Each structure stands twice: as C-alpha cells, then as structure tokens.
Amino acid sequence: MPQNPEKIQDHVELFHQPEYKQLFQNKKQFENGHEGEEVERVAEWTKSWDYREKNFAREALTVNPAKACQPLGAIFAAVGFEGTLPFVQGSQGCVSYFRSHLTRHYKEPFSGVSSSMTEDAAVFGGLQNMIDGLANSYQLYKPKMIAVCTTCMAEVIGDDLQSFINNAKEAGSVPQDFPVPYAHTPSFVGSHITGYDNMMKGILSNLTAGHKKETSNGKINFIPGFDTYVGNNREIKRIASLFGLDYTLLADNSDYLDSPNTGEFDMYPTATKLEDAADSINAIATIALQSHSTLKTREYIEKEWKQPTAVCRPWGIKGTDELLMKISELSGLPIPEELENERGRAVDAMTDSHSWIHGKRFAIFGEPDLVYCVVGFMLEMGAEPVHILVHNSNDVFEAEMKELLASSPFGRNATLWPGKDLWHMRSLMFTEPVDFLVGNTYGKYLWRDTKIPLVRIGYPIMDRHHLHRYATIGYQGIINLLNWTVNTLFEEIDRNTNIPSKTDISYDLIR
C-alpha cells in the first residue's frame, strides 16, 4: 500500500501497518525458527538459576560488553585541543563506527579521518596510506594539529607510527614543525578509557617537548578523563573561576561536542589552546578528575615533568569536598562562599529525596571511574548496591571499590562482577532482582526483559536527548543525579499504581 506523502509515519507506527505485518509473517517461512511456544519456554528458562550457572560458565563468548574500544577514546581526547583533527590509521569502516557512535550520543557532527587501509595495506603496510592521508587532511581541512591513532589492522601488521609520521613529513605531507602526536591504540586490548589515556599522553608529550622552564607558571592543570558530560567541563571551569584560579583544562571538548547552532559550520570550535597545553608542563600540579582513564598520563607527568599529580573525583558530597579542599591547598585560595552555599543546597536536596532512595537495592554497570563515583554517591543516599559489573575492570579498581563498599553499612552485601558482560547482568537481575538499574542506553534491553527501571547515567545515551549537557560533578551535579534517580523511581511507582479501583490507592499527586 503506497504511503500518503502528506502523512509520513514514523517507524514506530509504520511497521504496524497491515502490509508490513504480512511481510514479517511471510519471512518466517525462510527463517527456520521454532514455534512460539518453544521460544517462550526457552525464554522463561533463561530467567532461572540453572541458566545463570551455564551463562557464567561460558569463556569464549562475550555478549554485549559494557565497554568500547581504544580508538574511540583516543579521538574523544583529541578533539579537546584547538584545531585538532583525529586521524585513524586503519580501515574506513572503523573510523565511521567511532564517529557515528559519538554523533548518536551527542547529536553533533564528529569529524575524523581515516587512512582507508584495505587489502594492499594489510599486505605491504600502511606507510603510503599515512603519507597520502596526512597530505590530504592538511590541505583539505586546515587543522592546527593532527592526532594519529591506530585500529586493529595497523597494529596486527605492525605499523610504526613514529617512523611513518617522520617519513610523511620528509615527503612533504605536512611541514616539519607541524604537530602530529600519536598513540598506538589496538582495539583487541584495553578499552576506550585506555585509548583516551594513550592519546592524552601522546598529545601532551608532543606539545610540551622543549617547553620546560625554571619557574612555575602558577597554574593548576585539570584532566577530565573519559567524561562524556559536557556540563562537567563547564562546571569545573566555573568552580575554578569562582576561586579566581589560573588553570588549564586538558582537554576541553565541551564546545566541540555541544556547539551553538549559528547557521555556519565550524569544524574546530573553541578548545584548549595548543600554547596553553604546551605550557602545562610548567604548572604547579595536575589534578585528574578520573583515575583509570589517566593512569599512564599521570605517570608520565610525574616522571618527565617532575610535577605532582592528584586524583579527585568530584561526585557526591565527599568527592566534591575533596576537590575543593585540594584546589584550596594547592593554590592557597579560600573556598568561595558561593560554593559553600551550593553545598548547603545539595545537602537540602539530598534530605528531600533521602527517604525515597534510602534502602533501595540497585545494580550498576559501566567503566571503572563512573561506577566508583556513582556507587559512592548512592551510598551517601543510603542506597544498597547489589551487583557491580565492570567489563574493563582491573585489580586496582577492585581493591578501591571493596574499600569504598566496606566504608558504608549500605555497601556490605554488594558483589563485584569484573570482566562480565550485559548478558551476565541479565541473569543476575532475574535471579537476584533489584529496585533499579544504573547504566547507559544498552540497559534498556535489560529493562524490557526484567521490568526493572533504568536510571540512565553513563556513555552512550542514544535513546534520550540532552542528558549529556548536564553536570554530574560538583554540588550542582548532585542535584542532577538526584533528579534522574528519584524521578525514575517515582515513574515506576506511578506505573504500578495507575489502574483505577485496583492499584490506584497510592496514585498520589504528592511524593
């Protein structure tokens, strides 16, 4: 049946039309599928403890890992620097995936180029791809810096990025003094947070070379880590400004990932200036706002720059207090009264919502720093973590998480599930249900199966708009976290009490 051009239907309604229903029914004869009763029987069995034991026994298969691969984190770090074009030494399909993944989260165009390695490069190496790719990128897109990372193909065949970049400069692809930092980011090891760390170290080592001075510039450096909330970069800049602090944010991608619509496309929105990044070697200290996505970078800063570093993860009251006290300690500046008032408002908001979150059992998945911070905040609210799943876990994270859980009476019954995936989480939620789940968009399939409400916190969030624009750090971030959590619980209460004369005895106007 032809569609009426004056009434175009969204796919939500379109595929329920009779012709599509018939089309899907006709397809079944070619699919060799089981009858509906058998599908339903097996689906019910997958909710059991028997299936959970078999699910957790698998070793050779991963189903929906709660992580991404290294190059995604690398190009995310790169765009935080002024005029920087990410360049991926690998196949076109890989970089297209990274760009589309970030674009779907931010609803913003994400620029990145590829050396478009194919079968020839897999046999003979990707040197010529690098020479041609850097030349084309420099001439077409006019960047101030090109940051190079790799995919699996380039790593498997052993492409030497430093040698390739030197050869490309000798061939005239880019000027000799043009900055081309690089990072080896094989996708078959590590994750997106490893890629972020590798690229951040590569960029800083390139830009700061030869810029060490005898005296400090009096600044404090902040490294956000793989933090996908653009509101957090703006919040840390606001906090620093309230202090009157001279600082450098390494790297500030907030305008790149949340640029104003002025009617003209700007390929390189405002970001950390290259000269400021070069001078970061002369700062008083560097504060990382994440730990596990900045490990190699902090080691490099301490060893090569001879500069002290600290990790302050300003989520919740305790984490924010620690950051403000560290800034005050390093700078000698008092904590501004405005921030003290914000703390009071955050505590007041926590008091308002406390009775609704206290005692609630929750499960969570995500990368190490995010999970640590959210669990810390939830413990402050009296919520009880049950399942803590981190696919890209490590020994350091597990030790610090166990210490955090032991510090609160609400964390004593939690179980860590390192290296597990979201299909494992599904079994956990069926066999040991919780009151709510915290995670990214991929958790919506768990919500659909288990009916356990999902609080969307993390990356990516592709099925809801604008959450990435908010802050989750600082005292103002606390109110946003409260908002998302407690109102998700209220929505669930309303869903469970909305049948007139049956369940609506608590279908209330006031919560």
Per-residue 3-state assignment (H helix, E strand, C coil) for 403-439: HHHHCCHHHCCCEEEECCCHHHHHHHHHHCCCCEEEE
pLDDT at 17: 86
Overall average pLDDT of the 404-426 stretch = 97
pLDDT, averaged across the chain: 95
pLDDT band at 92 (very low <50, low <70, confident <90, very high): confident
pLDDT at 8: 77
pLDDT band at 29 (very low <50, low <70, confident <90, very high): confident
**DSSP class of residue 272?**
B
Comparison of pLDDT for 176 and 10, the residue scoring more = 176
pLDDT at 24: 87
pLDDT band at 147 (very low <50, low <70, confident <90, very high): very high
pLDDT at 495: 94
pLDDT band at 217 (very low <50, low <70, confident <90, very high): very high
pLDDT at 429: 98
Overall average pLDDT of the 360-378 stretch = 98
484 contact partners, CB below 8 Å, separation of at least 6: 455, 456, 457, 467
pLDDT at 77: 98
pLDDT band at 82 (very low <50, low <70, confident <90, very high): very high
> What is the tens place of the pLDDT at every residue in 44-53?
999 999 999 9
Kindly tell me if the per-residue pLDDT of 56 is higher than 70.
yes
Kindly tell me if the per-residue pLDDT of 492 is higher than 60.
yes
> What is the tens place of the pLDDT at every residue in 300-337?
999 999 999 999 999 999 999 999 999 999 999 999 99
Percent of the chain residues past pLDDT 70, beyond the cut? 99
CA angle 187, 192, 174 (to 5 degrees): 75
pLDDT band at 20 (very low <50, low <70, confident <90, very high): confident
Helix, strand or coil for residue 480? helix
Overall average pLDDT of the 95-120 stretch = 93
> What is the tens place of the pLDDT at every residue in 450-491?
999 999 999 999 999 999 999 999 999 999 999 999 999 999
pLDDT band at 4 (very low <50, low <70, confident <90, very high): low
Residues tagged active-site: 152, 156
pTM assigned to the model: 0.95
> What is the tens place of the pLDDT at every residue in 256-308?
999 999 999 999 999 999 999 999 999 999 999 999 999 999 999 999 999 99
Query: How many CB atoms neighbour CB 131 within 10 A?
Result: 20
Can you list the pairs that 488-494 forms with residues at least 24 positions away whose Cβ atoms lie under 8 Å? Answer: 488/436, 488/453, 488/454, 488/455, 489/356, 489/357, 489/360, 489/435, 489/436, 489/453, 490/356, 491/453, 492/436, 492/453
* Helix pair angle (192-208, 70-78), 10° resolution: 40
Overall average pLDDT of the 244-267 stretch = 95
Question: Residue 185 to residues 88, 154, 188: CA-CA distances in angstroms?
Answer: 10, 9, 9
pLDDT band at 2 (very low <50, low <70, confident <90, very high): low
pLDDT at 3: 60
**DSSP class of residue 305?**
I
> What is the tens place of the pLDDT at every residue in 380-413?
999 999 999 999 999 999 999 999 999 999 999 9
Overall average pLDDT of the 171-181 stretch = 97
Q: Which two tokens stand for residue 102?
A: 């970030």
